[in-house]
Structure 1
Amino acid sequence: MYARKYSVKFGFLLAAGFGIAALSGCTPGPAYVRPSVTVPAHYKEDMSKKSTPPQGWVAAQPGDAADRGEWWKVFGDATLDELEARVDVGNQNIQKSLADLKQAQAMIGVARSSYFPQVTAGAGANINHTSKDVLGHSLAGRTVQDYSMGVTASWEPDLFDRIGHAVDAANARAQASDADLASMRLSMHAELALDYVDLRQIDVEASLLKQLVDNYVQAKNLVQTQFDGGIASESELEQAETQLQVAKAQLIDLGEARAQREHAIAVLMGVPPADFSLPPVDKTLPLPTIPVGLPSTLLQRRPDIAAAERRVAAANADVGEATSAFFPDLMLSATGGLEASHFAQLAMLPSRFWAIGPALIGTLFDGGRRHAQLSAAEAKRDAAAADYRQAVLSAFQQVEDNLASLHVLANEAVAHQRAVDASSKAADLAMVRYQDGATDYLEVVTTQSVNLAQTRAQVELSRRRFAADVGLIKALGGTW
């Protein structure tokens, strides 16, 4: 009779719970829709204008799982390839992002565990003495021993998808962490490429200055000879000496910048600077041509955009979880075990006990807490959507900035080369005029100083073009 009574009660509560779930559609909360963004048909600063949308093209979807590619190989430098290969293994920023990803993936398991019953077991031995001065107590003044062992199981069916929303949020955050890892890898590889390009440009500039120092030594020897012969003045000799020492000082000064680049490369690979060095190489790297593709594909290639979009999905799932709080929870629990006042009787059949009972629990009044939590979750989702749109806009800006830099710097390089050629010719002519006695050494110093400044500026311009190339590759997501 009692079993039937409890069975009817349990069946009623379970039927009521499932009835409410059916009426609510079982999944309260908004369905996720990716935030809309405005995508141009082509890049404004793409001078080639070859990237026209093909017929039937569709808006891109974030694809953070895409391989970033060994994009640094476009520079054709074996040393750079070797250094880049060590970044993924030794870089500590990447290792931290990898640990963050593992933590986010573990949280998926934490969220999914709520789908399953929780079972606990325990055993206890207590001795309790009751006061004699307690009136109406059957155990007054007595010492009672209590030995027990038992198992408790509880389970909350996910009637209104509260756990499902939590799992969806954990999944989305793990995907965002995966994209963060790809973004960190892209950033570290790009930073090493920039430092390496800077270092090689310093080597090129150092080689240039060494050649100029040799030329200035020859020029000074010429002036010294003419001074000894009474042709050149002491002032001209001092001008030649000054020019030579200034060039030597500039050559020495490059050592600081080169050391800093070398140290930065070591740290990016996770190596102490004291254990790493790169010998100087007078080699000019080729400038690659980077196909930019369609703006729509940028959403597929940028891992930071994918991460921002996944965080919107996670925030939307949080809204669903906050919505689920407005519906009741069904709790199923069961307890069973053994309990006796004497340890010898603990294993006997009369010592057994058990309890089972469902409970349908709902909040009737909470002072507006759930409404406030829902509003906060919705605001957090809106903020994540704004972050996503801003990430897209920033990505477009970065591509446009680097495209503009490459276009402007390419035109500037043509004009600058003419300036270098002209200043070099002027310096040669001034030296010939000086040797013929047609001018003083001041003209030689002036023209050679102009030539040196123009040549060094040309090397700096080359460095800026390489930096813009690396910046464009990074802005495009590291692959094409």
Structure 2
Amino acid sequence: MRHSLHTLTAASVLAFSLSGCLLGPNYQRPAIDTPATFRFQEGEAADLANTEWWTQFDDPVLNDLIATALADNKDVKVAAARVDQFLGQFWSTRSALFPQVGAGFSAARERVTQSGPTPVFSNGAIFNDFQGQINASWEIDLFGRNRRLTESARANLLSTEEGRRATILALVASVAQSYIALLSLDRQLEIAKATTQSRAESVHVFELRFHGGEVSQMELAQSQSEYEASAATIPQLEAQIAQQEDALSVLLGHNPGPILRGRELAALGAPPVPAGLPSDLLQRRPDLRQAEENLIAANAQIGAARALYFPSISLTGFFGTESSQFSNLFTGPSKIWAFAGSVTQPIFTAGNISGQVKQAEALQQQALYTYQKAIQTAFQEVDDALISSQKLREQLVVQGRQVEALRTYSTMARLRYEGGYTSYIEVLDAERSLFNSELSETQTRQAVLTSYVLLYQAMGGGWVVDAEKMTTQQSSLTGADAGAGAGNGNGNGNGNGNGNGNGNGNGNGTQPASGAAPAENVK
């Protein structure tokens, strides 16, 4: 009966502790001023938030590069390790809600002095001491401090998980942008080489004509000047290509080296514009969910700080046995036990507790404003990406017509010069304008494709979860593949590759170090 009473009392204390009051404000999502639609809404937008949008470029090499980056990128692995770190922190914080139980055993052989202040003249001067005990301690969370700390730790864990997803979102976008930029540089190099080759032939013709007395030295020098101008762009572009390959290699998690190419820039598909409402961003963008979890964590810290004003109640106890002979250690007379309770109440702290409350409230305000600003920034990024995508496509159409007009102008100017109707300066002007226009058109095409990437990055969506699953899959792009690509030039037939075929990427497809369970499952 007495044992049952003790059990009932302990259960009542536990139930009262878990149902005790929680100090501090309970979290409520703040009111957000959300516009009904984006300023620059796309008329033909599609609901593609949960699709692997990069496959819409229709380039298998890009798909492999993104898979490789998700499997091997070091930033993703760092983010995964941070999730493990905060998962451990959550477990440590939550453990304070439960009794802490331990056990111990000790054995000693001692001799008591016979010449001290209280001499011992007996055979007991040398004796053995054996002890075994189980001890327990428990802080009753009457005012909810530990529960608030656990709430904050859980929110920090979820924030870290969302931070990992934000890293994945940024990584996919960065790989796609870098690859598009690489193809753009390839195309510009191809234009520069073709223009330089054409001008080299013109210089050769002019040299023959100069020696034959048909053209002046000034016209020859003009032709040579234009040749050197286009030739000078080739090493610049080749350097940019190598640097872009190195940057992309590091994004893949590999050492700097050559990058395999797939389609040419003009052959890449154009992904459709994703649809969505501004309010959707609150759930679709991991950086916004991360900011909200930080706000939840800061809000819980207020209650934890306010609980310091109230008493702290702790229960401790142990049960064990002690005997001078091991054979008697587990007999009835050797039992020892003790139970104790303590209550501590702060009386005067010279502003220590109020200072902690003030800090917690200020941090909560900072987190709130950070969350609100993140939402406004998200709206801005989507609007900017939408208008950029629309206007860049219009610009590309105009520049395409300009290039065609300049090709006609260049052809007609050369025919007029050959017929003696105009000076060579007109030919040079036409060719110079065509060269610059072709480079500009290529850069605009790159900007159009990049705008799609930025738009999908700004919109977020369920595709981040699909990409997250790929971080634990082995990449399909091996170092041998990268080496094979190095021997094929830059993929556009411009011969920029060195043909060594060795490849710096080891392509080992190593698994991320983290094996953390999804943070959403933590209770």
TM-score range, shorter chain: 0.7 to 0.9
**1:42–1:295 contact (8 Å) kept in structure 2:** yes
- 1:435 positional shift: 1.2
Aligned match of 1:109: 91
Aligned equivalents of 2:23, 2:261: Cα separation in 1 = 64
**1:337–1:353 contact (8 Å) kept in structure 2:** yes
Q: Structure 2 vs 1, CA of residues 375 and 90 (structure 1 numbering), >3 Å: closer, same or farther?
A: same
- 1:183 positional shift: 0.4
Aligned equivalents of 2:87, 2:16: Cα separation in 1 = 35
For residues 204-237 of structure 1, give each alpha carbon's deviation from its aligned partner in whole angstroms, at most 9, with x where no partner exists.
1122223222322332343234334321123322
Q: Do structure 1's residue 466 and structure 2's residue 449 form an aligned pair?
A: yes
Aligned match of 2:181: 198
Counterparts of 1:219-298 in structure 2, within 5 Å, are 219-274=202-257, 276-279=258-261, 282-284=264-266, 285-298=268-281
Aligned match of 1:94: 76
**1:166–1:317 contact (8 Å) kept in structure 2:** yes
Counterparts of 1:127-142 in structure 2, within 5 Å, are 127=110, 134=117
**1:42–1:49 contact (8 Å) kept in structure 2:** no
Query: Where in structure 1 are there 5+ consecutive unaligned residues?
Result: 52-65
Q: Do structure 1's residue 313 and structure 2's residue 313 form an aligned pair?
A: no
Secondary structure at the aligned position of 1:325 is classed as: helix
> RMSD across aligned C-alpha pairs, in angstroms?
3.3
Aligned equivalents of 1:352, 1:446: Cα separation in 2 = 106
Secondary structure at the aligned position of 1:359 is classed as: strand
Aligned equivalents of 2:16, 2:259: Cα separation in 1 = 72
Secondary structure at the aligned position of 1:79 is classed as: helix
Q: 1:363 aligns with which of 328, 331, 346?
A: 346
**1:17–1:159 contact (8 Å) kept in structure 2:** no
- Between 139-148 and 358-367, the greater mean CA deviation after superposition: 139-148
Aligned equivalents of 1:425, 1:357: Cα separation in 2 = 98
For residues 22-56 of structure 1, give each alpha carbon's deviation from its aligned partner in whole angstroms, at most 9, with x where no partner exists.
8xx622221111122211111123364989xxxxx
Aligned AA (1:188): L
**1:42–1:294 contact (8 Å) kept in structure 2:** yes
Secondary structure at the aligned position of 1:300 is classed as: helix
**2:18–2:141 contact (8 Å) kept in structure 1:** no
- 1:192 positional shift: 0.7
For residues 104-155 of structure 1, give each alpha carbon's deviation from its aligned partner in whole angstroms, at most 9, with x where no partner exists.
2222222232232212222333747679675xx6879996755433221122
Q: 1:151 aligns with which of 134, 141, 149?
A: 134
**2:45–2:272 contact (8 Å) kept in structure 1:** no
Q: Structure 2 vs 1, CA of residues 50 and 350 (structure 1 numbering), >3 Å: closer, same or farther?
A: closer
**2:62–2:262 contact (8 Å) kept in structure 1:** no
Aligned equivalents of 2:461, 2:232: Cα separation in 1 = 39
Q: Do structure 1's residue 331 and structure 2's residue 314 form an aligned pair?
A: yes
Secondary structure at the aligned position of 1:353 is classed as: strand
Aligned AA (1:439): T
Q: Do structure 1's residue 390 and structure 2's residue 385 form an aligned pair?
A: no
- 1:254 positional shift: 0.9
Secondary structure at the aligned position of 2:422 is classed as: coil
- 1:396 positional shift: 1.0
- 1:174 positional shift: 1.3
Q: Do structure 1's residue 212 and structure 2's residue 195 form an aligned pair?
A: yes
Aligned match of 1:169: 152
Aligned equivalents of 1:140, 1:309: Cα separation in 2 = 74
Q: 2:410 aligns with which of 390, 406, 427?
A: 427
Aligned equivalents of 1:265, 1:116: Cα separation in 2 = 49
Secondary structure at the aligned position of 2:309 is classed as: coil
Aligned equivalents of 1:68, 1:132: Cα separation in 2 = 85
Q: Structure 2 vs 1, CA of residues 322 and 68 (structure 1 numbering), >3 Å: closer, same or farther?
A: farther
Aligned AA (1:475): A
Aligned AA (2:31): S
Aligned equivalents of 1:332, 1:228: Cα separation in 2 = 108
For residues 76-109 of structure 1, give each alpha carbon's deviation from its aligned partner in whole angstroms, at most 9, with x where no partner exists.
2111111111111100000110111122222222
Aligned equivalents of 1:131, 1:398: Cα separation in 2 = 86
- 1:343 positional shift: 6.2
Aligned AA (2:359): A
**2:59–2:263 contact (8 Å) kept in structure 1:** no
Secondary structure at the aligned position of 2:316 is classed as: strand
Secondary structure at the aligned position of 2:342 is classed as: strand
Q: 1:30 aligns with which of 4, 22, 25?
A: 25
Aligned AA (1:173): N
Aligned match of 2:40: 45
Aligned equivalents of 1:369, 1:126: Cα separation in 2 = 48
The number of equivalent residue pairs is 455
Using the size of structure 2 for normalisation, the TM-score is: 0.78
Using the size of structure 1 for normalisation, the TM-score is: 0.84
**2:135–2:318 contact (8 Å) kept in structure 1:** yes
- 1:472 positional shift: 1.4
Aligned AA (1:217): A
